[in-house]
Chains A and B, each alone.
Chain A
């Protein structure tokens, strides 16, 4: 059954995933096993297929959608089971920037890797990110799709410094015009060129 869940996630069959997860639970499979071996493992495979050029953005989106449908069922059960997420991520597209898709894909890939993700959406001002860090997020992931809005990543990092919160959060940045060099220049901890790499980078930053 786990194998079937995994396959359905990889192929983006959201409608099939839900009954399969329910069936697995009825058969007594532990929620964390379904999460690890069914969902996280499937999304890792999706990431691999994307990096090898076999999957493109639509395939990733529908796989992530299927994963999310399954995760919705598992979430309350995982809480009951006392399963801790890999980390708590706050993610958003920076102030002035209205691009959504890439950031949402990163959010879904991170969820698929076992993180708890708070997606603040687009056009997010520094103080909203800061609020989320105060609320316990230990990874901040910022996206900018325009060179016009990229400076707002730098502004946000400065604001986090000023709020005295910099030591307690790992900061990662991404988006089409963003490079590793730019990430280094503005003092981010990590950069990832795509959604799959972003999920891996987040784990790396937390040493997991």
Chain B
């Protein structure tokens, strides 16, 4: 039996706890705020600091239960203990169980707005996914009017709101842990208001379970030896290691 420390995002909380609870190893889970990914440098610094406070010998591996997350995990460096990270773009891959499945979903419907129980129940004010409220937009509009005048404020709101026009599907991922019915309903209602197609997707904890169980095939996980850093690559493996750190 080995000891792992899993550093993960709130957006995966319930699924990671579930995988940790049944793993054949001793896994300590540390959660980080989901809003951090909006500023990749902050998430990267937070995770590096969390890696750095782990003492030598405290665990056999540090599991980064994250994707590239907008380059947030690129540059993270292993000190004395190896890091293990899935080859994934972001949490959607981890929700769906493989990057092939995410790619299929993405190719079929690039304009998908993803929802999940964890993401929604832990939403922070100002977050754009799922439960962005009208109140935030109104506050922003008032600020713009004060600063730039009504004409420009209207223009800015129109430009900033354009992202929504390119979306056509809302997908609620059910990870099979916890009762997400109320949130699924909320996602459904938002989809109806926006005129999007709504779909419910069954999540798959496969990758999470593999990571926490120490099952790390090379095509799905990257092991970062001590002294090495994570780098982005342009091949299908998405990430690699660099000696330079």
A residues neighboring B (CB under 8 Å): 12, 14-15, 58-59, 61-62, 65, 96-101, 104, 122-123, 146-151, 154, 176-177, 179, 181-182, 185-186
Q: Are B166 and A122 in contact (CB under 8 A)?
A: yes
Chain A residue at minimal CB-CB distance from B144: A58
The answer to whether A146 and B162 have CB atoms under 8 Å apart is: no
Whether a CB of chain A sits under 8 angstroms from the CB of B180 is no
In the complex, the answer to whether A98 meets B155 with C-beta atoms within 8 Å is no
Task: Evaluate contact between B144 and A186: CB separation under 8 angstroms.
Answer: no
B68:A147 contact, CB within 8 angstroms:
yes
Min CB distance B204 to A, Å, is 18
Among A61, A99, A154, the residue within 8 A (CB) of B234 is: A154
A23 to B162, CA, bound (A): 34
Q: Closest CB of chain B to A57's CB: distance in Å?
A: 9
Q: A96, A100, A185: which contacts B162 (Cβ < 8 A)?
A: A100
- B110 on the A face (CB < 8 A): yes
Residues of chain A lying within 8 A (CB to CB) of residue B155: 14, 61-62, 65
Can you identify 19 A-B contacts, CB atoms within 8 angstroms?
A: A14-B151, A14-B152, A58-B148, A61-B156, A98-B166, A100-B162, A100-B166, A101-B160, A147-B67, A147-B71, A147-B232, A150-B234, A154-B234, A176-B40, A176-B71, A177-B68, A179-B74, A182-B234, A186-B234
B160 close to A146 (CB less than 8 A): no
Are A62 and B238 in touch, CB under 8 angstroms?
Answer: no
**How many angstroms from the CA of A98 to the CA of B166 in the assembled complex?**
6
Residue of A nearest to B167 (CB): A98
What separation, in Å, do the CA atoms of A65 and B71 have in the docked complex? 31
Given contacts A98-B111, A186-B234, contact A12 B152 (CB under 8 A): yes
Q: Is B218 interfacial (CB-CB < 8 Å)?
A: no
Distance from A85 Cβ to chain B, minimum over Cβ atoms (Å): 24
Are B71 and A177 touching (Cβ within 8 A)? Answer: yes
The listed residue (B110, B159, B233) touching A185 by CB distance below 8 A is: B233
Determine whether the beta carbon of B148 is less than 8 Å from that of A12: yes
| Interfacial chain A residues near B234, Cβ < 8 Å | 150-151, 154, 182, 185-186
| Contact assessment for B232 and A65 in the assembled complex, using a CB-CB cutoff below 8 Å | no
Across the interface, do A181 and B159 meet the contact criterion of CB distance under 8 Å?
no
Which partner residue on chain A sits nearest B162 by CB separation?
A100
What residues on B are CB-neighbors of A147 within 8 Å? 67-68, 70-71, 89-90, 232, 238
